[in-house]
Amino acid sequence: RMQCYPGLVLALSSLLGALALLQLSLYLRVPSRYGKHEERLCRPRGRLPARCAWFLQELPSFLVPALLLALRSPPRLEPLGCRLLCCLFCWHYFYRTFIYPFFTRGRPFPLQLLFFGMLFCIYNGFLQGYYLIYCAEYPNDWCTDIRFTSGLLLFLLGMGINIHSDLLLRQLRKPGEVTYKIPQGGLFTYVSGANYFGEIVEWFGFAIATWSLPAFAFAFFTLCCIGPRAYHHHRYYLKTFTDYPKSRKALIPFVF
Ligand code: NDX
């Protein structure tokens, strides 16, 4: 029977923080090699169509916490806060697993990164789900606490920006097309990494709403993972398009 081991949560969260720093040191100077940063553009071997790849990669982040939530015995009926927060996490990954991949017009994804991406999603899905379902304790009025309400608001705002920006990116291509164009509209007016900005806001919102170490570790990981990628996207655009809007920043509107 599963129960809460605070030491396990601490260890897994610390490892996630360490992975974030590793990620930062690896990908600050050279971008992770998928999408527009893959060097050998026409090598079909060792890659999977974007649809399958994103579906397989993100599935564990939905499945693992959803199963933990469903299989917990006896079912944890209280407090409402824990279940609600776990559902938020699953909601994001429901979108990322069952909706996002089926509309993507992205190029085939490298198998090697897919493998690490999947491992990461199992790890993080377990950590967030396990913590919220077996360890977290919130007062009964957590749903009216300023941390919960402001975090939830940020989460929803970030998710909205992320989904809208991914939609704008998708509309840059006709089906079957693989070229890159200058993203326009929405938050792309201000930053090159509008979808990443949304995702980062979303996970910091989640961290504030859960007020938990695992969620802060994941928000930090997200920042270290896609923050540098936004910077590399920005440099790619400046190098590729001479008419790229000069006032546009990399990740944070008006700042960086
Ligand atoms: N998946 C998160 N690390 C990652 C995959 C890679 O969800 O070994 C992290 C995630 C994984 C990573 C994952 C974890 C760490 C890994 C890493 C690889 C190495 C690394 C495993 C799990 C690793 C250590 C060392 C720790 C072990 O052709 P295309 O594909 O470029 O087309 C793109 C298109 N597009 C354009 N189309 C026309 N014109 C343009 N100018 C275009 N620009 C882009 O739009 C795509 O089809 C689409 C989006 O592209 P892009 O590059 O903007 O976003 P992408 O990076 O593909 O992310 C897609 C979404 C996005 O909303 C983002 O916020 C979210 O997923 N995401 C992505 C990565 C991680 C993450 C969220 C998170 O950490 N929360």
Exposed, middle or buried, 148 (CB in 10 Å: 0-12/13-18/19+)? buried
Closest C-alpha residue for ligand 1 atom 17: 117
pLDDT for res 140: 85
- Report the DSSP pairing between strands 109-110 and 47-48: antiparallel
Report the pLDDT value the prediction gives residue 41, as an integer from 0 to 100.
56
The answer as to whether 231 is a domain residue is yes
Closest-CA residue, ligand 1 atom 39, reads 180
Interatomic CA distance for residues 236 and 164, integer angstroms: 22
Residue type, 49: P
Taking CA atoms, 252 is separated from 39, 193, 194, 230, 248, in Å, by 27, 8, 8, 10, 10
For 65-86, letters b (16+ CB in 10 Å) and e give bbebbeeeeeeeeebebbbbbb
**Structure token pair of residue 186:** 């929405």
Mean pLDDT for the chain? 93
Nearest atom, ligand 1, residue 196 CA: 64
The residue whose CA is least distant from atom 3 of ligand 1 is 23
Among 208, 104, 118, which residue's Cα sits nearest to residue 155?
Answer: 208
- Ligand 1 centroid–CA 171 distance in Å is 17
Mean pLDDT of 41-63: 89
pLDDT of residue 97: 98
How far is Cα 107 from Cα 125, in angstroms, rounded to an integer? 26
Rounded mean pLDDT of 70-95?
82
The pTM for the full model equals: 0.96
Atom of ligand 1 nearest to the CA of 180: 39
| 216 in any annotated domain | yes
Number of domains in the chain: 1
Ligand 1 atom nearest residue 170's Cα: 45
Is residue 250 included in any domain, yes or no? no
| Ligand 1 centroid distance, CA of 33 (Å) | 10
Which phi and psi (to 5°) does residue 245 adopt? Answer: -55, 125
Asked if residue 79 has pLDDT above 80, the reply is no
Query: Tokens at residue 9, please?
Result: 């949560």
CB contact set of 62 (below 8 Å; sequence gap of 6+): 90, 93, 94, 96, 97, 98, 125
* d(CA 224, ligand 1 centre) in Å: 13
- Show the ligand 1 pocket: residues with CB < 6 angstroms: 19, 22-23, 26, 32, 35-36, 50, 57, 104-107, 113, 116-117, 120-121, 162, 166, 169, 172-173, 178, 180-181, 183, 195-196, 199, 222, 225-226, 229
Section 1-9 average pLDDT? 91
Residue 72 has pLDDT above 90, yes or no: no
| Whole-angstrom distance, CA of residue 97 vs CA of residue 254 | 32
Whether 190 maps to a domain, the answer reads: yes
Q: What is the DSSP string of 147-207?
A: HHHHHHHHHHHHHHHHHHHHHHHHTTS-TT--------SGGGGTBTTHHHHHHHHHHHHHH
Ligand 1 atom 27 nearest Cα: 116
Query: Is the predicted pLDDT of residue 74 greater than 90, yes or no?
Result: no
Q: Find the 21 Cα to ligand 1 centroid distance in Å.
A: 18
Q: Give the tokens for residue 81.
A: 């806060």
107-164 confidence digits (pLDDT tens): 999 999 999 999 999 999 999 999 999 999 898 889 899 999 999 999 999 999 999 9
> What is the predicted pLDDT for the residue at 69?
87
**Is the residue at 86 inside a domain?**
yes
In a domain, 103, yes or no: yes
The atom of ligand 1 lying closest to the CA of 104 is 47
Give the C-alpha separation, 57 to 116, whole Å. Answer: 9
Task: Answer whether residue 246 is part of any domain.
Answer: no
Give the residue numbers spanning the domain of 65: 6-38+46-240
Q: Would you say residue 73 has pLDDT above 90?
A: no
Can you give the pLDDT at residue 1?
72
Residue 150 in any domain: the answer is yes
Mean pLDDT score, 36-55:
83
**For ligand 1, mutation pick of 47, 92, 155, 166 (most atoms within 8 Å of CB):** 166
**What is the DSSP annotation of 42-77?**
T--TTEE-HHHHHHHHHHHHHHHHHHHHHH-SS---
- Per the CB < 8 A criterion, the answer to whether 197 and 191 are in contact is yes
Which band of pLDDT confidence, cut at 50, 70 and 90, is reported for residue 55? Answer: very high
